[in-house]
Amino acid sequence: DEPSEWEKTELDQAQVEQRIKEYNSQINSNLFMSLNKDGSYTGFIKVQLKLVRPVSVPASKRVPSVQAGRPHPQGVKRRTSFYLPKGTVKHLHILSHTRASEVIDALLRKFTVIDNPRKFALFERSEKDEQVYLRKLGDDEQPLRLRLLAGPSEKVLSFILKENETGEVNWDAFTLPELHNFLLILQREEEEHVRRLRHRYARCRQKMQEAL
């Protein structure tokens, strides 16, 4: 949960300008960072959405298509829940002082999701010494600043939107369709877990019989 040492680094104006030049020289796209006259800077961050639960869209909206060429044909009468495809990513153009909570709000607006933003959290992912580390960002942390400090490498730093697991879940905050979907998910997880257990014991039994 603790930020790394480089995340605690404070940069003066000259250092920010130098970091931006180094960052722009290392990327292989046009997603550059730009320094503003007031000392702030703008740039892009990429966020991967790894959501297990379905999300909800408002009444009179169609389910937003996140896959080109595959629009959703059904209109929504009141509100509906659906799963975002695995591996969904979104690029956001933000300011250096844009907070993590504002990034979450912007992502939900992009997909017209009406769930409470507090159900979600922004995480940073990093790889070091063949280990993967995840850290939940505080609401006031600035993702673009972290992106600048880390450089453009996705291994050093990437951003993930996940459910905000804070301990006990307040199930009263969810709608009936969402609760029904959660029950289906639990059933599938249970069935998969039982299948793996049966497969494991079947293999053990087979090995014993071969030994006999």
Phi and psi angles of residue 119, each rounded to the nearest 5 degrees, phi first? -75, -10
**How confident is the model over 34-88, as pLDDT tens digits?**
999 998 999 999 999 999 888 887 765 555 554 444 444 454 446 777 788 878 9
pLDDT for res 168 = 57
**How confident is the model over 173-212, as pLDDT tens digits?**
677 887 888 888 888 889 988 998 999 899 999 999 999 9
Q: Is pLDDT larger for residue 57 or for residue 161?
A: 161
The fold adopted by the segment(s) 13-61+72-169 is: Ubiquitin-like (UB roll) (3.10.20)
Entry pTM: 0.68
Average pLDDT of the residues of the chain? 84
pLDDT for res 59 = 62
The 10 Å Cβ neighbour count of residue 96 is: 20
d(CA 17, CA 35): 7
Domain boundaries, the chain: 13-61+72-169, 174-210
